[in-house]
Amino acid sequence: MSQIASQAALHRVLFRMAERATAGLSFYEFLQSVHGLLGELLFARNFYVCLSNTSRQTLDFPYYVDEKDGDTMQCNDVPMRRGLTEFVLRTQRPQLIDAVRFQSLVASGEVTEASGDLTFSAWLGVPMWLHGAVGGVLVVQNYDADGHYSDQDIDVMSFVANQFGSVIERHQAIDALRTSEARYRAVFEHLGVGVAVVQAERMQFINPAMAAMLGWARDELLQQDFKKAIHPDDVAAVVARHQRRLDGEVVEPYYVARFLTAAGETRHLEISGALFDWNGQPATLLFAVDVTVRLQAELAQRAATERQRELNDMRSRFIAMASHEFRTPLAAITGSVELLSVYGDKLDPAEKSDVLARIQRAVDRMTHMLESVLELDEVESSAMLFRPQAVAVSPLCRAIVADVEADKVAGGRRVVLSLPPDELVCALDESLLRHVLVNLLSNAFKYSPGGGEVRMTVDACEGELVWTVRDQGIGITPQDQTRLFDSYQRGSNVGHIPGTGLGLAIVKHAVARHQGSLSVESQPGVGTCFTVRLPAHRPPGQG
């Protein structure tokens, strides 16, 4: 099934799930229908729902269907133990467990009291949020020898569980209402789910839970325009959906809208509604669940996943860099040592000196790479301190340029310089600035194997120092420019030119320590221009 088709199926299942929540079914019938719907998305022959009671340290299993256990595990007030379900509740994360991982969890003491048939080949449990906290678990398991669940199944189950919690709350609210219409007001008054009645664009009834979610006193909201607490950017969409419902159109069963509390805080409420008669006139009955914490948790989870993906990518690039860049000098050292071992007594002094120089160059290259890795770790971990002091900008730039020109990477070429007057003195960190300029100038020479002019210009204007380093080298492709300053990232067109992919990452962090900015303009085959902007702060005691 394609990704688009999968998304369509997921939305269809969620829509039908919401329909079942308002269809007058008993709670078990509702869960039974959810079981059937879940089977349209993944293997769910074996499925159970767990609801936790933290204060009592017990678990309820209102629905438990399993080909091995049957429904014998379907019971309430089960004491919490160190089982698989409790492991999901404790970690508050999806857990995919096969036979090997299960044994590992048992051995580590994480799971010591698992119950039911444990011969599964794959077990998948995901946390379910209720009333702003993890309050249950949805579980599917597979006993087939080759059964397994994928990352996509984890995503599907997690998404369903996130929505399922709100649907359960809503179903429980509606079920409680239908249990006794004579006591509906008392139910609403004590219900954890927010409830409001909107009629003629006014709030005619609001329960304490809704008032607490919105952060307003009930008297302030009653008889007021119901748009009062809606976030201004969401008013149009909420009003349009409300009007469509009043006009008898079929609208989405539930949606998320932003509301503003009396303190000005933004809360995300998941809203569902239905038409009904209030004092003989049409009105809308609204149910609301505060999903702010859940959405924040989802954002945090996505951020953590993205960060882990970035770290994995960085690790892969580091391994690739180390494998490639260390192999060449190591081969040179190995070959030179073998040459000295076999023919050392036959080589004349000049030849021996050449071999030893080759070893030294290889060692220097490896040392430079290791120093670059350590420098990057230092600036990324904030261990490299920012120590601004009075620096004469032009003399320092000339000294740095002289050092780079003396290096073999320059190949005897010179930098064309344009500098401000020598009297210009600014508060800069000389060490960090050296990192910036040495890397940019060295790259300009290194990636201009065909020669061409390398120019550095320094301007002081409008409270800024602006460095531009321009070359006429191989350039950088637009695709590479998007990740140019990432660690261990190198251009796709560098060929056999050696490098670690660390220099520009170090430059980025050094510029950031100055609270400056760094940008690049480049065209493949034409050249590259880097621009560094740093605040031109005067040293203390100077004008």
Residue 238 belongs to some domain of the structure:
yes
Q: Which of 138, 155, 177 is the endpoint of a domain?
A: 177
Residue 201 belongs to some domain of the structure:
yes
pLDDT classification of 384: cutoffs 50, 70, 90: low
CATH number at residue 273: 3.30.450.20
CATH number at residue 358: 1.10.287.130
| Cβ-based neighbours of 249, under 8 Å, separated by 6 or more | none
The pLDDT, as a whole number, for residue 320 is 57
- The domain of 439 spans 389-535
Distance, in Å, from the CA atom of 16 to the CA atom of 253, rounded to the nearest integer, reads 9
Question: What percent of the chain is predicted at pLDDT more than 90?
Answer: 29
pLDDT classification of 281: cutoffs 50, 70, 90: confident
Helix (H, G, I), strand (E, B) or coil at 277: strand
CATH number at residue 525: 3.30.565.10
Residue type, 64: Y
The pLDDT, as a whole number, for residue 252 is 77
Q: Which of 155, 177, 199 is the endpoint of a domain?
A: 177
Structure tokens at 489: 């990232």
Q: Are 53 and 62 in contact (CB under 8 A)?
A: no
Please tell me which residue, 207 or 502, carries the higher pLDDT value.
207
Q: Is the pLDDT of residue 25 over 60?
A: yes
Question: What phi and psi values does residue 410 have, to the nearest 5 degrees?
Answer: -75, -25
End-to-end alpha-carbon separation of the chain, Å?
Answer: 69
| Cβ-based neighbours of 506, under 8 Å, separated by 6 or more | 372, 375, 376, 379, 435, 439
Residue 543 belongs to some domain of the structure:
no
Q: Which residues of 355-369 are buried (b: 16+ CB within 10 A; e: fewer)?
A: beebbeebeebbeeb
Q: Is the pLDDT of residue 260 over 90?
A: no
Weakest mean pLDDT among 124-133, 147-156, 492-501: 492-501
Q: Is the pLDDT of residue 11 over 70?
A: yes
Most confident of 8-22, 149-163, 250-264: 149-163
User: E strand or H helix at 123, and its extent?
Assistant: strand 122-130
Give 213's DSSP letter.
Answer: H
Closest by CA position to 465, among listed 393, 389, 528: 393
pLDDT classification of 66: cutoffs 50, 70, 90: very high
Structure tokens at 341: 């071992």
Residue 66 belongs to some domain of the structure:
yes
Helix (H, G, I), strand (E, B) or coil at 218: helix
- Asked if 169 and 240 sit in the same domain, the reply is no
- How far, in Å, are 47, 72, 103, 104, 114 from residue 111 at the CA level? 20, 21, 9, 9, 6
- Asked if 197 and 317 sit in the same domain, the reply is no
Its pTM surpasses 0.75:
no
Unique residue bearing structure tokens 């009105």: 283
- How far, in Å, are 40, 41, 142, 152, 194 from residue 148 at the CA level? 16, 14, 7, 12, 40
pLDDT in tens, 503-513: 788 888 889 88
Residue 135 belongs to some domain of the structure:
yes
Q: Are 102 and 118 in contact (CB under 8 A)?
A: yes
Q: Are 447 and 526 in contact (CB under 8 A)?
A: no
- Asked if 501 and 404 sit in the same domain, the reply is yes
Q: Which residues pair with 287 in a beta bridge?
A: 195, 272
Give 180's DSSP letter.
Answer: -
Average pLDDT over all residues of the chain: 82
Q: Is the pLDDT of residue 44 over 70?
A: yes
| Cβ-based neighbours of 538, under 8 Å, separated by 6 or more | 425, 426, 427
- Asked if 530 and 426 sit in the same domain, the reply is yes
Helix (H, G, I), strand (E, B) or coil at 236: helix
The pLDDT, as a whole number, for residue 275 is 81
- Asked if 281 and 194 sit in the same domain, the reply is yes
Burial of residue 240 (CB within 10 Å: 0-12, 13-18, 19+) is exposed
- Asked if 184 and 172 sit in the same domain, the reply is no
Strands of the sheet containing 95-98, edge to edge, are 78-79, 58-65, 46-53, 133-142, 122-130, 95-98
517 CB-side CA count, 13 A: 5
- Asked if 119 and 221 sit in the same domain, the reply is no
pLDDT classification of 203: cutoffs 50, 70, 90: confident
Angle among Cα 336, 342, 344 to the nearest 5 degrees reads: 75
Number of domains in the chain: 4
- Asked if 186 and 329 sit in the same domain, the reply is no
The pLDDT, as a whole number, for residue 318 is 58
Most confident of 265-279, 351-365, 467-481: 467-481
- Asked if 26 and 146 sit in the same domain, the reply is yes
- Asked if 335 and 282 sit in the same domain, the reply is no
- Asked if 156 and 205 sit in the same domain, the reply is no
CATH number at residue 143: 3.30.450.40
Q: How many CB atoms lie within 10 A of CB 333?
A: 18
Residue 541 belongs to some domain of the structure:
no
The pLDDT, as a whole number, for residue 181 is 47
Residue 374 belongs to some domain of the structure:
yes
Q: Which of 261, 290, 319 is the endpoint of a domain?
A: 290
- Asked if 283 and 332 sit in the same domain, the reply is no
The pLDDT, as a whole number, for residue 496 is 67
CA 37 distance to own-chain centroid: 30
Strands of the sheet containing 254-260, edge to edge, are 202-206, 194-199, 281-290, 266-278, 254-260
pLDDT classification of 180: cutoffs 50, 70, 90: very low
Q: Average pLDDT, stretch 479-488?
A: 77
pLDDT in tens, 310-354: 666 656 555 555 555 566 666 667 777 777 777 777 777 887 787
Q: Is the pLDDT of residue 64 over 90?
A: yes
Q: Which residues pair with 172 in a beta bridge?
A: none
Q: Average pLDDT, stretch 432-452?
A: 87
Q: Are 441 and 532 in contact (CB under 8 A)?
A: no
Helix (H, G, I), strand (E, B) or coil at 50: strand
Distance, in Å, from the CA atom of 333 to the CA atom of 362, rounded to the nearest integer, reads 6
Q: Are 532 and 509 in contact (CB under 8 A)?
A: no
Residue 78 belongs to some domain of the structure:
yes
Unique residue bearing structure tokens 């120590």: 387
